Amino acid sequence: MIRIDAFPYPYQFHPRSTALVVIDMQRDFVEEGGFGSALGNDVRPLGAIVPTVAALLALARQTQMLVVHTRESHLPDLSDCPRTKRLRGNPTLGIGDVGPMGRILVRGEPGNQILPQLTPMAGEIVIDKPGKGAFYATDLHAQLQERGITHLLVAGVTTEVCVQTSMREANDRGYECLVVEDACASYFPAFHRATLDMLTAQGGIVGWRAPLAQLQSAVTAYAGEHP
Ligand code: TIU
């Protein structure tokens, strides 16, 4: 078992039964001209975590963990987008409208792609999700169950929206979840911090948190014991 010095107490997992879930590291959230900036947000705090997410992906691949990437996306006819979701936000540049990176939050458009630095590799799972949570209206749970996954390391954007929703959904389905705190980000730094606190309060009510460095040192120690 790999043992991480996490909060609120150590987190133990085996790479064979653990998946890294990278939430929505798409151009639509991280780059200017996408959904996030159309909502009036400064996207820079999200861009700042890209190297950390890349290092986390490298660690998961080196440890031969299952890797899952998600994208928040809608069908071109928007039949999977509730009218309420479409009406909220920017009235002139909303979901399905044409922006500088193609139609906002629509599957297959340039803005909907995962950042090139974090491109999924062959054999990794990519989940297109119409909601904020990765389990809502997707087959993620079935895919994880098929592979015997019991533990999830969670990263991506944004901490208080899709990362938190997905971690809560996973917790309710019985997964032991750890959020990698410096591999996720919010447009609102105070929400990022508050989310990490609320997920892990009350003895880990939703799960654990730890920075990437703790994960890296735990994996190095494990590799030393299992050469
Ligand atoms: N707006 C915002 O903070 N987030 C989202 O709309 N989706 C995700 O978090 N991926």
Q: pLDDT tens digit string along 85-130?
A: 999 988 889 999 999 999 999 999 999 999 999 999 999 999 999 9
Q: How many CA atoms lie within 13 A of 9 on its CB side?
A: 5
Mean pLDDT of the chain: 97
Question: What total number of domains does the chain contain?
Answer: 1
Helix (H, G, I), strand (E, B) or coil at 69: strand
* Structural domain span for residue 157: 2-225
Catalytic: which of 162, 177, 182, 184?
Answer: 162
H or E, element range at 71 = strand 66-72
Quick one: average pLDDT of 124-148? Answer: 98
pLDDT of residue 224: 84
- What is the position in ligand 1's atom list of the atom closest to the CA of 156? 10
Residue list, ligand 1 pocket, CB within 6 Å: 24, 29, 39, 72, 132, 157-158, 161-162, 187
Can 129 be counted among the known catalytic residues?
A: yes
20 pLDDT band, cuts 50/70/90, is: very high
Is the per-residue pLDDT at 223 higher than 90? no
Can 132 be counted among the known catalytic residues?
A: no
Is the per-residue pLDDT at 227 higher than 80? no
Name the residue with the closest Cα to ligand 1, atom 10. Answer: 162
* pLDDT 10s digits, 170-206: 999 999 999 999 999 999 999 999 999 999 999 999 9
Indicate the pairing of strand 176-185 with strand 102-103: unpaired
Helix (H, G, I), strand (E, B) or coil at 35: helix
The Å distance, Cα 207 to ligand 1 centre, comes to 21
| Residues 77, 185: Cα–Cα separation, whole Å | 30
